[in-house]
Structure 1
């Protein structure tokens, strides 16, 4: 979906049937002298070619409304460094509290046990609700291991390594490979090509695709199936020893051994006692529920029509971590079970902030840097743009859809039938 500036200051969707390049006359439409003086502006693929900093506060509010956000922040000034932002936060947000850390372990273990019991007693028509609960509880296990990987769980690194491996094992996530690649994501957030989490496809990459590859990418990254695409990311990035240096491989192989040992013992036992259906019911469906949140949290945090990815020579760490990371509010039960991982902006400003201090750190950032932050409440409009529009890198307008040259049936169907709001 593209957005054009309409009368009375509103932003209205532009039908993709009008073609990928839509020019909208700006003078006189918004009745503001600064805007009226601008030349015509090209809109494309849910992004404005006018930089966010060129919009007035009122126009940014309108853009936020149309894109499903509570606020769209201005771009951080060039002179601000990441160190400046970190120093603006109170020192106590960096302090570790072992009691709160172990409380998260207790919550996640108890929630997972309760969810498995619910699955065991639920009739077939209630299983989807039990799976939703168990998948969310499973995500809490990941968040505990996630803090261990960032060295924000315990003052003893050995304890963190042990807990991280234990919490990741049921997820079939090798702890050390994930830790290495995830830290690389933090070091290169929203940097084109370098970011190992999510980044737009480039036209150069698309040119290399055969028909089968193109179909796979378009189905799994160009539809709501993107909300489970972390399954592919998990497989591609964390089991290939060639992606790691000789120095890293010993620890990587230990993590792989832990995962394989879990699979070799837990999976046969589960199938022996509960059958194949029990394996699907008690592990596979909760695991897919976990990957829904893994994918959703990540793409919502780092993908928005107005937030750019930058090549290395244009990339700025402070802008990427503060202005380029989205705060999203989720239902309270989700935030409780996932240990506030959705309060994500301070985590990217300083990854050693433990989960239980993220709310206080967020309030500090809002107070000092709120004009530069993008926030939303989890909603379908935000997700729809991520899944059906934000695909291919464009230097001028950030994103364009896979079918930017000529509309394709898959995307035409989605534009026509997927609602803007649910």
Structure 2
């Protein structure tokens, strides 16, 4: 040990040296594309419309069933047979079931709009834009504005310098000194109680997506302070895209007027029960965490491989959410591939990229809690960066050729 090295520094270095090494994926996108049959890239308008029709039918049936919840369990017969307490418990149980399943159905409809934004719903751009605009607008997403920024996110996914959203905070962003300065009390920076952590996690899951659209929360830090998806002059858009941003804004304005009219007609409480709470489920389900952000050694294929396939809610996630989480990796490689080809395409992708394919079968809420607690920040410098946890530790380290120490 040199005189300039403290025991704390040696311990920290030793821990880092014991981590498994990570080497970025070497293949180019065209090589990976060649490993997947051409038929899996074919987009079928009728098949896409069939899935959308099923989603809309399920949403209508759930809505219709929900209309009977309050009258049924408030009736004299229900109160007599179940007792007042029993009838009330049954009523709220039915509302919870409605919110859960209608929320999943709404999210599936949003996913269809997301498919349209990528051009995966149909080979016709006109069909994609009409379906995408309607399905996203009714779920409070400015279709064209989101389509533009989300396309850029896919093109630059996992790049610290260029990605549009989920850009990690760095050590300096949080004011944490470098490890070289000696012992760091990470509890001073991350010592929140579990209750407070749960509160912030719930807040994130319910409000993060609207906050990103409105205020660029978790977006690229180099953008101006008031960056948002509703300003046609925003840095997010070019001058040529101004008109479609205004069309998106017009759609959201129409939704505001429709919801206002619905509140005046049926009451705000009814609108919240039948529509508002299921919509909150949509904001909860949209995206996952970035696994391994990369900086100067970034490429499109490496960025695509930095996401994870998750067994999100089992069969419910597969059926209602159109495999958006189960086969998310192949989607990042090939956004124009229809979701219904995801399962088969993933088999070819996994066989080709091997250990660079990532899958997690952890229960989704456990994975969410662990990710929220483990993915805190990344270093300020380096060619390949990994999230560090509340103790300042990572789970992987770059291979020697990518280390800058």
When normalised by structure 1's length, the TM-score is: 0.71
Corresponding residue SS for 2:58: helix
Corresponding residue SS for 2:121: coil
Q: What aligned pairs does 1:71-82 form with structure 2 within 5 A after superposition?
A: 75-76=24-25, 78=26, 80-82=27-29
- Report the counterpart of residue 29 of structure 1 in structure 2: none
Corresponding residue SS for 1:233: helix
Unaligned runs of 5+ in 2: 1-7, 70-90, 177-191, 216-227, 394-405
Corresponding residue SS for 2:387: strand
CA distance in 2, matches of 1:381, 1:220: 12
More strand by share: 1
Relative distance call for 1:21 and 1:133 in structure 2 (3 A) is farther
Q: What aligned pairs does 1:239-258 form with structure 2 within 5 A after superposition?
A: 239-241=230-232, 242-243=234-235, 244-258=237-251
Unaligned runs of 5+ in 1: 1-19, 25-38, 54-74, 209-214, 406-422
Q: Contact 1:132 / 1:286 at 8 angstroms: preserved in 2? A: yes
- Report the counterpart of residue 399 of structure 1 in structure 2: 387
- Report the counterpart of residue 323 of structure 2 in structure 1: 340
Deviation at 1:161, TM superposition (A): 1.0
Relative distance call for 1:201 and 1:119 in structure 2 (3 A) is farther
Q: Does 1:262 align with 2:255?
A: yes
Q: Contact 1:172 / 1:259 at 8 angstroms: preserved in 2? A: yes
Deviation at 1:378, TM superposition (A): 4.5
Q: Does 1:142 align with 2:110?
A: yes
Corresponding residue SS for 2:173: helix
Deviation at 1:221, TM superposition (A): 9.9
- Report the counterpart of residue 87 of structure 2 in structure 1: none
| Cα shift readout 1:110-145 (whole Å, capped 9, x = no counterpart) | 122122234333322332221111111111111111
Q: Contact 1:89 / 1:364 at 8 angstroms: preserved in 2? A: yes
Q: Contact 1:169 / 1:262 at 8 angstroms: preserved in 2? A: yes
2:210 to 228, 231, 235: 231
CA distance in 1, matches of 2:9, 2:279: 41
Corresponding residue SS for 2:322: coil
Q: Does 1:329 align with 2:297?
A: no
Corresponding residue SS for 1:238: coil
Corresponding residue SS for 2:119: coil
Q: Does 1:112 align with 2:97?
A: no
Relative distance call for 1:88 and 1:124 in structure 2 (3 A) is same
CA distance in 2, matches of 1:286, 1:248: 31
Q: Contact 1:220 / 1:226 at 8 angstroms: preserved in 2? A: no
Q: Does 1:370 align with 2:317?
A: no
Relative distance call for 1:87 and 1:129 in structure 2 (3 A) is same
Corresponding residue SS for 2:67: helix
- Report the counterpart of residue 70 of structure 1 in structure 2: none
Deviation at 1:285, TM superposition (A): 0.4
| Cα shift readout 1:156-205 (whole Å, capped 9, x = no counterpart) | 21121111111111111111000000001101111114222312112343
Aligned residues: 326
- Report the counterpart of residue 419 of structure 1 in structure 2: none
CA distance in 2, matches of 1:221, 1:239: 28
Relative distance call for 1:310 and 1:371 in structure 2 (3 A) is closer
When normalised by structure 2's length, the TM-score is: 0.73
Deviation at 1:154, TM superposition (A): 1.6
Q: Which moved more, 1:137-146 or 1:122-131?
A: 122-131
CA distance in 2, matches of 1:367, 1:235: 41
Q: What aligned pairs does 1:52-63 form with structure 2 within 5 A after superposition?
A: 52=22
CA distance in 2, matches of 1:198, 1:221: 20
Relative distance call for 1:178 and 1:93 in structure 2 (3 A) is same
Relative distance call for 1:278 and 1:21 in structure 2 (3 A) is farther
- Report the counterpart of residue 96 of structure 1 in structure 2: 43
CA distance in 2, matches of 1:372, 1:221: 34
Corresponding residue SS for 2:272: helix
Q: Does 1:190 align with 2:158?
A: yes
1:283 to 266, 270, 275: 275
Deviation at 1:389, TM superposition (A): 2.2
Q: Does 1:356 align with 2:356?
A: no
Relative distance call for 1:206 and 1:240 in structure 2 (3 A) is farther
CA distance in 2, matches of 1:197, 1:335: 25
Larger Rg: 2
Q: Contact 2:138 / 2:255 at 8 angstroms: preserved in 1? A: yes
